[in-house]
Amino acid sequence: MQAPSGMKTVLLPDGERVPAFGMGTWNMGDDPAQRGEELAALRFGLDAGLTLIDTAEMYGNGQSESLVADAIAGRRDEVFLVSKVLPQNATRHGTALACERSLRRLGTERIDLYLLHWRGGVPLAESVAALEALRVAGKIRHWGVSNLDLSDMRELDAFPGGERVAANQLLYNLSRRGIEWDLLPRLREHGVPVMAYSPLEQARLLKNAGLTRLAQSAGMTPAQLALAWLLSREGVIAIPKSGDRGRVRENLGALEFTLDEAQLAQLDRIFPPPRGPQPLEML
């Protein structure tokens, strides 16, 4: 997979480069009436260089993965494909079965990055062993986690193969900066990227008056400013979701902007960074 020119990239711990900007697919594929436009939006994004696609077995009970399969048909090698196993499936055997189901729905022989969606009742060591076995078998190229806090990451490191964790997908946007206190610095220290989910706070962020004013003065839309801020962070991959071509185009526009020190300082005033440890937030 080749990142397009102009696309910022992020290093995975094994040295592979992946795009710092991709496409989310939660709530896509569920409504037959929306399917045509959603497919067009994903293909438009792919054509424009948004080659990292995030999905999960949970999304629409597999419907999102099926939609992604249609979007990437005939161009699998252009794509860095991310999917996730539900925690209740993440046993030694259950992970392998869930992965096979996802591969079938996605119409591919490999997933590039396979994440444990969140931590559930299955011992973390068992899930890690199952993910590592899938990697060795070539079903997945990398594995990672999602919604895991600092204490979980410390635990993970102690397991055999735990050091192979390739990413932690976390709720991270201007209005959710809690991870900046200790989790993000630790992940950076270990060279583990953060995949920032709900980067627009599911569009709620776009109503913020301060963000809107600053975006206007910078000649950007609020969505572009929120995404440009994430792109300014080291080791962060943003995965906004849109099922609309116009909004995918708008979001892509964030790549054209580099925020200066004054703009970053203004954003810190509107959305202050954490002043102490905070419990991990998730949606």
Q: Which residues bind ligand NAP (CB under 6 A)?
A: 24-26, 54, 117, 146-147, 169, 197-203, 206, 223, 239-244, 247, 250-251, 282-283
Pairwise CA distance, residues 104 & 107, whole Å: 5
Q: Other CB atoms closer than 10 Å to residue 278's CB: what's the count?
A: 15
Active-site residue flag, 59? yes
Nearer Cβ to ligand NAP, position 156 or 239? 239
Q: Residue 258 CB, nearest distance to ligand NAP (Å)?
A: 19
3-state secondary structure of 99: helix
Nearer Cβ to ligand NAP, position 106 or 160? 106
Question: What are the strands, taking DSSP E only, across the chain?
Answer: 9-11, 17-19, 23-24, 52-54, 80-85, 111-116, 140-146, 168-171, 194-197, 236-238
Residue 30 — φ and ψ, nearest 5°? -80, -35
Q: Which residue is nearest to ligand NAP (CB)?
A: 24
Nearer Cβ to ligand NAP, position 102 or 198? 198
Q: Residue 76 CB, nearest distance to ligand NAP (Å)?
A: 19
Nearer Cβ to ligand NAP, position 164 or 247? 247
Residue 206 token pair? 């776009």
Smallest Cα–Cα separation from 195: which of 278, 84, 90, 76? 84
Smallest Cα–Cα separation from 201: which of 180, 175, 179, 162? 175
Contact 259, 220 (CB under 8 A): no
Those residues whose C-beta lies under 8 Å from the C-beta of residue 247, and which sit 6 or more positions away, are: 41, 223
Q: Residue 246 CB, nearest distance to ligand NAP (Å)?
A: 8
Q: Residue 281 CB, nearest distance to ligand NAP (Å)?
A: 11
Nearer Cβ to ligand NAP, position 160 or 210? 210
Contact 175, 274 (CB under 8 A): no
Q: Residue 22 CB, nearest distance to ligand NAP (Å)?
A: 9
Enumerate the active-site residues.
59
